[in-house]
Structure 1
Amino acid sequence: MSAFRYLGLFMLLLLFSACGQNSADKTPTYTVNTSKDEETQEDVKEESHTPIEEKVELKSFFMRDGAVATYLGEGNEYASYHARTQWHNDDTVSIYEDNGGTTVIRTYRITDDSIDLIKEQGEFYEQFNPTNEDLKSLPTLSTFLQLPLEKGTTFDEWTLVDVEQTLETPYETYNNVIVVEKTDDSGAIQRKYLVEGFGEVKREFLMKENDAEFIVTSILVTVE
């Protein structure tokens, strides 16, 4: 299949598809009562100190309600886009992505351990205002991100390849950037760069055919 056909498929994708626990037992400390009055010493209960793994707040991978982010694209006419965030409730959020050719809505359900895509529709030009019951009834289509946020974690066809990357964007330079990627049967690579407090700050599509390399990128430039 030619490189140009791959790019055509990627354009269609842009158009219509869009933290184990360690246990430490602490020896209990008892207080000796040395007062003249022989008071009964209270039993001191041993406290269990089992630190819980510090979990990332997965909802922090989305922007505030009403935020509009602009991404500058290179390599494809539909790589530039605006993304508007709409929170429906504490654990469900939609992103409206307008790339000039169409508007794609993607709705995500946030659980304790994952962010799951539950709605994806192109040519969507309305406001999505479902009830909580409607949202609960939507099935999981795919997983956007999953704990633990450790290098090597896999989910669906994605692999978490980095958790400490530094990334410079026109908007801000980020540390501890999470990078997830997948490779399809043709060898084409898709990457997402995720940051707490912002979500997706960059995406890439890379493909090589013979000596030619094709790269399509979208990177965050503004947030309003």
Structure 2
Amino acid sequence: MRKKVSNLMVALLVPLLASCSLFGGSDASSDSSAVSSVSSSVSSSSDSGSASSSSSEPADATTIEAYYPFSASVFTKYLGEGNEYASFTVYPQYIEGNRMQITSNNGGTQIVTVLELADGELREVFTRPETYFRENMLEKTASGDAANQLDILLKEPLEVGNSWMNASGVPSEITNLTAQIETPMGNFEALEVTTTYEASTTKDYYVKDMGLVKRVTDLGDDMVVSSSLEARNENVPETQQLRVFYPDSELMGLDATSIALSYATNDVTRTILAEALKNVPDAPGGSLIGPNVSINSLSLSDDGRVYVDFSQEFVSEMNAGTSAESLILQGVVNTIGEYYGVQEVYLTVAGNPYESGHILMAEGAYFTVDYTNVNE
């Protein structure tokens, strides 16, 4: 069961969005089954765009790119003091053009944030709390009240005294260019940004070619919370645990096992999930779907349903009777639904409603996550 987020934890984490990302996505399953691994090369690219900085040229030392590089497949970890949720991890999930999507995890909640570098500003343009799945959200931009909660992290010119007003009405200012900062990873000379809230003050410290290295929040009454860079590892994947449901050997119900997923920046979720479903060592036959099956599309819709479209091989390679087919379908639905944290999955094959010799789904009909037949 995921922890409930306290008001203080949210207050501490929200300002950290621009520096946070995940190493270990969805909650690990409590199932004690053996864990197998599905990996992707960190150096690989995907159809989401190449994982690179917004510029191939070295960043000028006076630009935002120098202090906040859009670096692919870099895992960063921050050590917290003063609050149990001050420690967090960071991972860049997607980078394309002048936008980067990061995911943050402080042990109590996980948040996805999209950053945009434009017009001399690095700003948050979208955020989604409690996001334990991986999906490309680079094209999303917040509006209304949600947009008013987003901040400008850095603004050029990078000079002492340069200040700006965030959408929430909170002011920020560059207050030092050569602040001497100590962290578990070492000592740095950093650019300091001071943000003044109604009841607290936060100082963010950015180092050239590294990004955020420290954050210190003074809450008053001698209460100080800090997060300091503890580790920065390059060419490291983001990892998640996927619980896969598959028919048991007697075709009487579903068993479950945990599989480790591994993503580099810009890897596509549907591709990784398809490979995972083809490699389920504990399942009879070692897989849940056929060897040539691909997932054409996969996304969480605003209606709260996951929409997944499989290639035609999903049906042609199944080669199962009615009972086995029903269990395979339920296993796939349970696996995908649980990964996204939803109850309804709209499953199609080659763009059409699911149809086989045994089962025919009507247009618009969806499958429901059901644990009734899951073996304990």
Distance 1:179 1:128 in 2: 32
Please list the CA deviations of residues 51-85 of structure 1 after superposition, one character each: whole Å capped at 9, or x if unmatched. xxx67342340352111101000000000111112
Q: Distance in 2 between matches of 1:138 and 1:208?
A: 32
Aligned to 1:113: 120
Match of 1:207 among 219, 230, 244: 219
The change in CA–CA distance for 1:165 and 1:204 in structure 2 (over 3 A counts) is: same
Report the equivalent of 2:244.
none
Aligned to 2:64: 58
* In 1: Cα distance, 2:120 partner to 2:109 partner: 32
Q: Cα distance 1:161–1:15, how it changes in 2: closer, same or farther (>3 A)?
A: closer
Task: Select the residue among 152, 158, 177 that pairs with 1:163.
Answer: 177
Match of 1:88 in 2: 95
Q: Deviations over 1:137-189 (max 9, x none)?
A: 556643111001111111121011101112122213212x1111122223x11
Report what 2:202 is aligned to.
190
% identical aligned pairs: 25
Tell me by how many angstroms 1:10 deviates.
3.5
Matched position secondary structure for 1:124: coil
TM-score normalized by structure 1? Answer: 0.70
Q: Give 1:4-83 correspondences, 5 Å limit.
A: 9-15=7-13, 18=17, 56-60=62-66, 61-62=68-69, 64-83=71-90
Given that 2:101 and 2:137 are in contact with CA atoms closer than 8 Å, whether structure 1 keeps it comes out as: no
Question: What amino acid is the match of 2:186?
Answer: E
**Aligned-partner Cα distance in 2 for 1:105–1:92:** 13
| 3-state DSSP of counterpart to 1:208 | coil
| Residues in 2 aligned to 1:68 and 1:164: alpha-carbon distance in whole angstroms | 25
TM superposition shift of 1:130: 3.8
CA-to-aligned-CA distance 1:36-59 (integer Å, 9 cap, x gap): xxxxxxxxxxxxxxxxxx673423
**Which residue matches 1:145?**
154
Aligned-pair distance for 1:12?
2.1
Q: Which amino acid aligns with 1:164?
A: T
Residue 180 of structure 1 aligns with an amino acid whose one-letter code is V
Alpha carbons of structure 1 residues 122 and 16: separation in structure 2 relative to 1, 3 Å: farther
Distance in structure 1 (CA, Å) of the matches to 2:163 and 2:123:
14
CA RMSD across the alignment: 2.2
Per-residue displacement from partner, 1:175-213 (whole Å, max 9, x unpaired)?
2x1111122223x1111111121111111111223xxx0
Q: Is the 8 A contact 1:178 1:193 kept in 2?
A: yes
Q: Residue 65 of structure 1 aligns to which amino acid in structure 2?
A: A
SS at match of 2:219: strand
Structure 2: how far apart are the matches of 1:90 and 1:56? 20
- Partner of residue 42, structure 1: none
**Letter matched to residue 69 of structure 2:** F
Q: Which runs of 4+ in 1 moved over 6 A?
A: none
Conserved? CA contact 1:63–1:197, under 8 Å: no
Give TM-score scaled by structure 2 length: 0.43
Between the aligned partners of 1:117 and 1:16, the Cα distance in structure 2 is 11
Greater fraction of residues in strand: 1
Kindly tell me: are residues 15 and 123 of structure 1, through their superposed partners in 2, closer, same or farther at Cα, counting changes over 3 Å? farther
Alpha-carbon distance in 2 for matches of 1:13, 1:215: 13
Matched with 1:216 is 225
Return the alpha-carbon distance in structure 2 between the equivalents of residues 126 and 108 of structure 1: 19
